[in-house]
């Protein structure tokens, strides 16, 4: 007899079960996210490192001895400063004094780890990831620690952001002379070859369930789900993930019966989701929601929040998550974000990623405007930080590009050399 499946994949729109082969799109053609459905409806928190504590609700079977995971704690100085007695912080970065173990300093590592394991279990191939920085660094670090080969495609000017704390000998970095969109295009060129597999982004359930561990960590630390979940978003994948994790926690029965409200923020002047959501629209009107996109993107403090094609409209995406949770969105200026980052450094002695500073600034705005009830419980997802602190303990190893291609290049430009390089890894 075959053992019962740990999880199934289901199309959110059609409700039909979908075969799991690292599947990221609905084979029936629905424009919908797929979602995992776990056999275990009660969560057991395991005595395992990092995110593997929550392996019941990760779409993987294997556990690795890697410590990266979220940490949830309280900050008296910050609680006092904001007048929030029930404020919980979930820190995703490097901060050993608080057990913050993410050496590449952002919650992208929570996504990278289950993604590479899922790929190996369901469809062994070489994963191809397009990134503007944090995602690429997280996948390179994961490759360095596991030996699993990956290809990371970045715009040329993002190369300086790629480093690891262990040698990433099985990783291949390709720089594109262009912007993030050009990097995405070239990554699709590579994925057209049979040996390679497009990572999938928000459509990849391993990424979302990996990020969802922040909500699980928060709820199991607090003893119930928070009333409000705050996060800065670029794609909004973390917001979707928090909603999905909260639905699972509702099904568990021990963590409350109400969905936490999602309070999501973007960085002015590039705030397409804030604009569309506040207008009550599921679809973007580019001229209204992202006018002069290139110029606006160049001006923000946190460029990880500048995705031009976020999974906002798709069934099961950001709009649905916001609607279900009766959420709110905030537009935060550079100055407000920098002030929030300074305040955090003053209160806690650790530097925040600019995106996490945007998030903290949004909480301040929510308090000031009366958008939240200060007596209720807040979970603040600090999605990155500790860049200064990590340098004290680790040598940061820069990553070199194996190939550089012009924007708009076809795979033929490097096909032969790339295949030779990758086969020497395997
Ligand atoms: C990617 C990233 C975000 C945005 O996350 P999404 O949920 O994917 O929009 C926020 N903060 C940091 C530090 C990030 O790297």
- Ligand 1 nearest-atom number relative to CA 239: 7
- Ligand 1 nearest-atom number relative to CA 133: 15
- Ligand 1 nearest-atom number relative to CA 232: 10
CB of 328 sitting under 6 A from ligand 1: no
Helix or strand run (H / E) with residue 88: strand 87-91
Nearest to 169 by CA among 426, 425, 415, 417: 425
- For the structural domain made of 126-194+396-425, what CATH number should be given? 3.40.50.1100
Testing ligand 1's pocket by substitution, the residue of 112, 233, 350 carrying the most ligand atoms inside 8 A of its CB is: 233
Residues 78, 75: Cα–Cα separation, whole Å: 5
| pLDDT score, position 421 | 87
Q: What is the pLDDT of residues 180-196, one digit of tens each?
A: 888 999 999 999 999 99
Tell me the CA–centroid distance for residue 106 and ligand 1, in Å.
8
Q: Which tokens sit at 86?
A: 């029930």
| pLDDT score, position 424 | 74
Q: Which residues of the chain have pLDDT under 70?
A: 1-3, 425-426
Residues of the chain with CATH 3.40.50.1100: 71-106+206-389, 126-194+396-425
Q: Are strands 71-73 and 87-91 parallel, antiparallel or unpaired?
A: antiparallel
Q: Which tokens sit at 11?
A: 């199309």
Residues 24, 22: Cα–Cα separation, whole Å: 6
Angle at 332 between CA 319 and CA 296, to 5 degrees: 85
- Ligand 1 nearest-atom number relative to CA 236: 9
Tell me the CA–centroid distance for residue 46 and ligand 1, in Å.
26
Q: What is the pLDDT of residues 113-134, one digit of tens each?
A: 999 999 999 999 999 999 988 9
Angle at 219 between CA 204 and CA 92, to 5 degrees: 60
CB of 235 sitting under 6 A from ligand 1: yes
Testing ligand 1's pocket by substitution, the residue of 235, 301, 329 carrying the most ligand atoms inside 8 A of its CB is: 235
- Ligand 1 nearest-atom number relative to CA 238: 7
Residues 157, 21: Cα–Cα separation, whole Å: 34
Q: Which residues 6+ apart lie within 8 Å of 174 measured at CB?
A: 151, 152, 153, 154, 186, 190, 401, 402, 403, 404, 405, 414
| pLDDT score, position 224 | 98
DSSP letter, residue 106: B
Helix or strand run (H / E) with residue 423: helix 415-425
CB of 138 sitting under 6 A from ligand 1: no
Testing ligand 1's pocket by substitution, the residue of 107, 154, 199 carrying the most ligand atoms inside 8 A of its CB is: 107
The highest-level CATH class for domain 71-106+206-389 is alpha beta
Q: Which residue has the tokens 């913050």?
A: 100
């Amino acid at each position: 007899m075959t053992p019962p499946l740990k999880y199934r994949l289901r199309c959110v729109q059609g409700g039909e079960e979908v075969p799991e082969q690292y599947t990221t799109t609905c084979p029936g053609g629905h424009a919908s996210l797929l979602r995992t459905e776990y056999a275990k409806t009660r969560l057991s928190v395991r005595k395992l490192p990092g995110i593997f504590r929550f392996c019941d609700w990760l779409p993987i079977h294997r556990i690795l001895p890697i410590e990266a995971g979220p940490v949830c704690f309280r900050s008296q100085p910050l609680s006092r400063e904001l007048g929030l007695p029930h404020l919980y912080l979930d820190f995703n970065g490097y901060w050993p004094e608080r057990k913050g173990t993410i050496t590449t300093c952002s919650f992208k590592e929570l996504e990278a780890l289950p993604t590479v394991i899922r790929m190996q279990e369901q469809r062994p191939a070489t994963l191809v990831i397009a990134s503007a920085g944090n995602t690429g660094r997280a996948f390179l670090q994961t490759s360095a620690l596991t030996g699993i080969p990956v290809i990371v495609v970045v715009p040329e000017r993002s190369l300086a952001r790629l480093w690891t704390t262990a040698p990433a000998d099985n990783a291949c970095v390709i720089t594109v002379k262009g912007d993030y969109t050009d990097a995405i295009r070239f990554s699709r060129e590579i994925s057209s070859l049979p040996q390679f597999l497009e990572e999938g982004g928000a459509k990849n359930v391993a990424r979302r369930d990996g990020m969802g561990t922040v909500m699980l960590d928060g709820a199991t630390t607090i003893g119930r789900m928070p009333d409000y979940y705050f996060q800065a978003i670029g794609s909004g994948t973390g917001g979707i993930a928090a909603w999905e994790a909260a639905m699972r926690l509702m099904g568990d029965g021990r963590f409350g019966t109400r969905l936490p409200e999602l309070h999501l923020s973007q960085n002015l002047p590039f705030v397409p989701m804030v604009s569309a959501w506040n207008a009550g629209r599921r679809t973007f009107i580019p001229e209204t929601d992202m006018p002069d996109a290139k110029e606006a993107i160049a001006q923000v403090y946190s460029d990880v929040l500048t995705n031009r094609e976020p999974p906002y409209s798709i069934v099961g995406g950001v709009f649905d998550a916001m609607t279900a949770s009766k959420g709110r969105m905030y537009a935060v200026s550079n100055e407000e974000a920098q002030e929030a980052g300074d305040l955090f450094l003053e209160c806690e002695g650790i530097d925040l990623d600019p995106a996490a500073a945007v998030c903290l600034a949004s909480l301040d705005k929510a308090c000031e405007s009366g958008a939240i009830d200060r007596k209720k419980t807040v979970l603040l997802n600090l999605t990155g930080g500790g860049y200064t602190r990590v340098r004290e303990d680790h040598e940061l190893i820069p990553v070199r590009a194996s190939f550089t291609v012009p924007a708009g290049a076809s795979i033929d430009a490097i096909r032969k050399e790339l295949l030779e390089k990758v086969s020497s890894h395997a």
